Chains A and B, each alone.
Chain A
Amino acid sequence: MGPTLDFLTLLPYASELLQGLTTTVMLTVVTTLTGLTLAVAVAYLRVNGQPWVRWGLSGYVEVTRNTPFIVQLFFIFFGLPGLGIKIDAITAAFIAMTLNLAAYSAEILRAGISATAKGQLEAGRALGMTTLQSYRHVVLVPAFARVYPALISQSIIVMLGSAVVSQISVFDLTYAANFIQSRNFRSFEVYLLITLVYLLLAFGMRRSFMLVGKRVFAYQQGEQR
């Protein structure tokens, strides 16, 4: 086989590609929402929780940040059933991605909160708000706005990292690629195409995040550099 590219042999597999794409996109959308939500809770509790809560959460964040995603995924999918907790592949992927994104984002948010919190918290207290109320109404949004670019990047990293969920047989984009190349033996073309799709997904994600950011953080348009 000479070094020629032949993308036409991919055509019959359009439906597999579509299925893979759908799975990757759905997983990403859902875990971005759950992951960021969980991150807010973790970031809040790491500052304001009981000592043992703070301790436990620090452990979770550090372990997650210092082990490979694929090992986390294997631990959840293969390891937990050993304890009698049975989960299917897509659920394992969902849990692993959520926990992973939440750990990184909680750390990012914590930086944003500590940069924002002091003055805002005092202002909130002066207005008679409780800590939780202050967070909800006057700390969280500015903190989020401050670290929003880092959160975008982290969400994209998790999306790209989700390629390894194919290893537990989740039918995502990479799984589709593996599937197709095992049939048509055109591995290079397949992976090139899929890589391009990931690139477009990353690009699209950044764009949509920025559009959302523009609306949500519209109040600070004036001060944006």
Chain B
Amino acid sequence: MTLVYVDNVHKAFGDLEVLKGINLSVAQGEVVAIIGRSGSGKSTLLRCLNQLEKHDSGKITIADKQLDAASMSPKELSENVGMVFQSFNLFPHKTVGENVCLAPLVVRGEGKTEVEKIAREVLEKVGLSDKYDSYPAQLSGGQQQRVAIARALAMRPKVLLCDEVTSALDPELVGEVLRVLEALAAEGMTLILVTHEMGFARDVADRVVFMHQGRIHEEGAPSELFSNPQTPELKQFISAVL
């Protein structure tokens, strides 16, 4: 079943055309890794998927509902699409528990006891149930990013977007975050991740999408794509990063 459907999406910043007609469909439970050179439009595509950027033309649907201001409120959007950022963006004035509970409380208007139960569940899932009352500044980068993942999960989104979630981390902390994502994938969570971790893309993704100059240049199963790239651009990219 198709969960995310992107049809001929265009996006420009002034004169700079960043997305030049993107077509992509992601099935329920699928894990899609987006790779590509810096500036190829990966983040922009992700940000269009949750409307942090409004696309200029084309159509995006999530669970058969069209994605635009008229047909989907911020609340509804957040129940469909979660996002984790490269820079964590945890709320520094709130504890880990409060970070996770805030949106379910004020956006969904759920009861406090229920929300706290969910918060403990998702924190358990990312292995941080003992940090419930800590402040973000007291945690390592890897732990902060895992809290950010838990915070996104607490809204129970249908798809989770991850934009280079390990790029701001020290190398020895990357693994713990990737393991959490891997576990989510194994549970059947739909994931769309922009990543520079080629090993992770190869091992965990069902499909790899290579973006080049605002277009999807090549896509396919990771084993095929990495061992047998069809286009010179992808060949060059792979030889540069591996």
User: Are A and B direct contacts in the complex by CB distance below 8 Å?
Assistant: no
B-to-A contact residues, CB < 8 Å = none
| Residue ranges of A at the interface with B (Cβ–Cβ < 8 Å) | none
